[in-house]
Amino acid sequence: MPRAKIKGIGTSIPEKILSNYDLEKMVDTSNQWIVERTGIHQRRIVEPGTTTSDLATEATKNVLASTGTAATDVDLIVCATITPDMILPATACLVQDRIGAKHCWGFDLSIACSGFLYALQVGAQFIETGAHKNVIVLGVDVMSSIIDYTDRQTCIIFGDGGGAALLTPCQEDEEGGIIDFIHEVDGSGGQYLCLPGGGSKYPANHETVDGKMHYIHQEGKVVFKYATRKMPELCLKLLQRNGYTSDDVSLFVPHQANLRIISAAADRMNMPMERVLVNIDEYGNTTAGTLPLALDTALRKGRLKKGDLVLFAVVGAGLSAGAMLMRWA
């Protein structure tokens, strides 16, 4: 079976910056508190009217252009998002139409901050079975559409943006690609990070709107504890069962939820911060968007080269978590 590799990354990053100083004028917070408690300095926010499919289409066009791939050669689009343009049709269908991918199927995948890594694994299965040659995996969110900008616990964390990866099979003589993964959910913690309104439980009505049920609600401390425990646990298990230790990892690419979560996870894994990709200061938590944005940062800064062992980790609503090991090809 051929291994699946990431052939390229394309991103879509909104121009508008929402800084901590802007937030100081909106809620009772301070730049110092946000930087010390989260590591975030600013985040990007879309202009009103810009949708997830706008960002996803741009990111997909960028990765197709940079890898010299025709849209008509795309077999499958898996779009990880919790902020689709609409409940239906799926955002993947909107992207398919807008890029002119005429021979392709697709669907959305909804598992919040774990979305991109889960979607990557789903896409990889179709490469490994030989069913497909070109799979677009998107991680994109317009979090500003579901954030209450009067809630200082959530509005300081999230930003908009994301990216697309093109998955293709490794050549026979090529060493690399996705090696292994461990994904895990714990639905008993669902209430700690949720958006209750607008589904079949609480269909949209005046009460759900007045009750702010269409915004993200979180118990920050519970999520924090789960994240700092689960990310290192899954990563160490994954490394061990593949015969590696943290010392073998060239780059650790964690979900960008909070710099303190990232540092605590790295610390528990004995991973020096020089080998950890951090860009939360620039973008905040873009939910499904953080990993493609992190890979883009790594590539632009020359921190990722052929042959590198890369370890990914995610954590998010569900509760959900995951880890993936990849040899960069």
Ligand X SMILES: CC(C)(COP(=O)(O)OP(=O)(O)OC[C@H]1O[C@@H](n2cnc3c(N)ncnc32)[C@H](O)[C@@H]1OP(=O)(O)O)[C@@H](O)C(=O)NCCC(=O)NCCS
Binding site for ligand X (CB under 6 A): 29, 33, 37-38, 113, 152-153, 156-157, 193, 218, 220-221, 223-224, 257-258, 285, 315-316
Is 113 an active-site residue?
Answer: yes
> Is 206 tagged catalytic?
no
Task: Please tell me whether the peptide bond between 89 and the residue prior to it is cis, using omega within 30 degrees of 0.
Answer: yes
Q: How many angstroms separate the CA atoms of 82 and 94, rounded?
A: 15
| Candidates 79, 113, 155, 235; catalytic one | 113
Write down the least CB distance from residue 123 to ligand X, Å: 22
The interaxial angle of helices 31-38 and 259-268, nearest 10 deg, is: 20
Q: C-beta of 304: minimal distance to ligand X in Å? A: 23
Of residues 75, 109, 108, the one with CA closest to residue 93? 108
Please check whether residue 108 is in contact with residue 81, taking contact to mean a CB–CB distance below 8 angstroms. yes
Cβ closest to ligand X, residue 238 vs residue 315: 315
CB of 77 or CB of 113, closer to ligand X: 113
What is the token pair recorded at 11? 């991103």
Burial of 251 per CB tally in 10 Å (0-12, 13-18, 19+): buried
Buried b vs exposed e over 7-25: b needs ≥16 C-beta within 10 Å?
Answer: bbbbbbbbeeebebeebbe
Q: Based on CB atoms, which residue is closest to ligand X, 30 or 171?
A: 30
The DSSP-derived string for 47-104 is: PTT--HHHHHHHHHHHHHHHHT--GGG--EEEEE-SS-SSSSS-HHHHHHHHHT-TT-
Closer to ligand X by CB, 8 or 316: give it.
316
- 91 vs 95: CA distance, rounded Å: 6
Rounded to the nearest whole angstrom, what is the least distance from the CB of residue 104 to ligand X in the complex?
30
Q: Which residues, listed in sequence order, are joined to residue 326 by a DSSP beta bridge?
A: 178, 310
Per the CB < 8 A criterion, the answer to whether 95 and 64 are in contact is no
Q: Smallest distance from the beta carbon of 279 to ligand X, in angstroms? A: 15
Q: How far is the CB of 315 from ligand X (least distance, A)?
A: 6
Nearer to ligand X, 11 or 320 (CB): 320
Q: Are 227 and 315 in contact (CB under 8 A)?
A: yes
Choose, from 62, 255, 258, 279, the residue flagged as catalytic: 255
Answer for the pair 161, 140: CB distance below 8 angstroms, yes or no.
yes
Distance CA 152, CA 23 (A): 9
Residue 285 annotated as catalytic: yes
Residue among 318, 26, 34 at smallest CA distance from 189: 318
Residue 235 one-letter amino acid:
C
Closest CB to ligand X among 16 and 221? Answer: 221
- C-beta closer to ligand X: residue 48 or 187: 187
In angstroms, give the least distance from the CB of 302 to ligand X: 28
Residue 92: CB minimum distance to ligand X, A: 23
> Closest CB to ligand X belongs to which residue?
220
Residues forming the active site: 113, 255, 285
